[in-house]
Structure 1
Amino acid sequence: MSDTDLAQPPQLGEALAALRAKRQLTLDALSQRAGVSKSMLSQIERNQANPTVAVVWRLAHALGVELSELLEGAKPAQSGIEFVPAHATPSLASPDGLARLRILGPIELAGQYEWYELIVQPGGVLASQAHEPGSREHLSVLSGELVVETGGQRQLLGLGETARYAADQSHAIRNPGPELAVGLLVVLHA
């Protein structure tokens, strides 16, 4: 954070107005819920008032969001490119170490949409317990071969092929071939 970032407090107006609209609340209704005057709310939304932490907390509580969500929504939109070097991409390994997931998606989308680069050594397996009901996975093979097993079914995938399947039951992805297999795995949580 630069000194210029610290010189100005966050401008909550746009974030507050958007959250209020999303919840279909009038200024009057939010005023009653939060215990903040309607004129103060109007001034905050127009960035003409700087609310105290207590007022921001009451507004967040009345809107049913975390304080951080209201403050994060007040940050200026990011411009440019967010760069993540390869060495900074987090990864997870299977218990036997033969399968590895490189986490490609941003952490703020975890639990909604997740995408990974899946790298599986010959004979390796990535076994997963059931995700929440309605969850689905999409697996596309970039090199080698992978087998998806779910619900008593098995599907072999080769280069360029994709499988889409229910992930709300135990499932596994295996490398049956003699060479390294790489795929893109997208998880859509319900």
Structure 2
Amino acid sequence: MTQPSSAKPPASPDGPPAVGSALQALRQSQQLSLDDLSRRAGVSKSMLSQIERNLANPTVAVLWRLANALGVSLTDFLANGAATPPAPAIAVVQPHAIPALKSPDTRCELRILGPIDLAGRFEWYELTIQAGGVLASEPHETGTQEHLSVLSGSMTVRAGSEEKKLRHGETARYGADVAHAIGNPGKTAATALLVVVHPA
């Protein structure tokens, strides 16, 4: 259960600097949300999001407002990370920035809570299954374990030929190196925390 990687477009050597990473680092080091910075700088939240993802090159006027709002000089800001402060001790990921995967029938959604650099070793997800939905998986590599903790509603877990029903608050631990499936037999949506531990 891994997500495809997506690379940011590189900054053109002849064009304006891509300040997205510097902006994001400065904003997070000051524990500002996109909404906070938007209000402080007078720049729309959608524009801020595009700048941080290097999808938009801001005008000098926008850069000046952002630099003032963050308390840094325009020169440092344009250095594209050269004067970026160290990563914050606590990095907060906003809800809109958490990637999600949906099953083909859209009844199952996995919000990828773990960082991409841990994929293939240790992964965790917020799993939501609509009534009647089933998330079926082929066997993972030998030794892979899954841990499913139901947060709301009820779910069924099938691993190989065995199946168990879980109620709110219960956790199932099972081998995921066989065909396995998680379903929602109830009449309302169910949510769970799904942890996948791959062999070392």
TM-score (ref. length: structure 2): 0.58
Identify the residue that residue 154 of structure 1 maps to in structure 2.
Answer: 163
Letter aligned with residue 94 of structure 2: P
User: Alignment RMSD, CA only?
Assistant: 1.9
Identify the match of residue 154 of structure 2 among 130, 145, 160.
145
Distance 1:4 1:96, change over 3 A: closer
Identify the residue that residue 84 of structure 1 maps to in structure 2.
Answer: 93
Matched, 1:181 2:190: yes
Matched, 1:100 2:176: no
The alpha carbon displacement at 1:82 in A equals 1.2
Identify the match of residue 134 of structure 1 among 131, 140, 143.
143
Distance 1:150 1:4, change over 3 A: closer
Cα distance in 2 for residues equivalent to 1:131 and 1:4 = 41
Give 3-state SS (helix, strand or coil) of 1:182's partner. Answer: strand
Q: Percent identity?
A: 54
Pairwise mapping of residues 1-190 of structure 1 onto structure 2 (< 5 A)? 1=22, 3=79, 5-6=81-82, 78-190=87-199
> How big is each residue's C-alpha offset from its partner over 1:18-49, in whole Å with a ceiling of 9 and x where there is no partner?
xxxxxxxxxxxxxxxxxxxxxxxxxxxxxxxx
Cα distance in 2 for residues equivalent to 1:96 and 1:121 = 10
Cα distance in 2 for residues equivalent to 1:97 and 1:4 = 40
Cα distance in 1 for residues equivalent to 2:185 and 2:150 = 13
Letter aligned with residue 109 of structure 2: R
- Greater gyration radius: 1
Distance 1:143 1:7, change over 3 A: closer
Bigger shift: residues 128-137 or 77-86:
77-86
Structure 1: which 5+ residue stretches go unaligned? Answer: 9-75
Letter aligned with residue 125 of structure 1: V
Cα distance in 2 for residues equivalent to 1:96 and 1:111 = 25
Q: Which has the higher helix share?
A: 1
The alpha carbon displacement at 1:6 in A equals 2.7
TM-score (ref. length: structure 1): 0.61
Cα distance in 2 for residues equivalent to 1:85 and 1:186 = 20
Structure 2: which 5+ residue stretches go unaligned? Answer: 1-21, 23-76
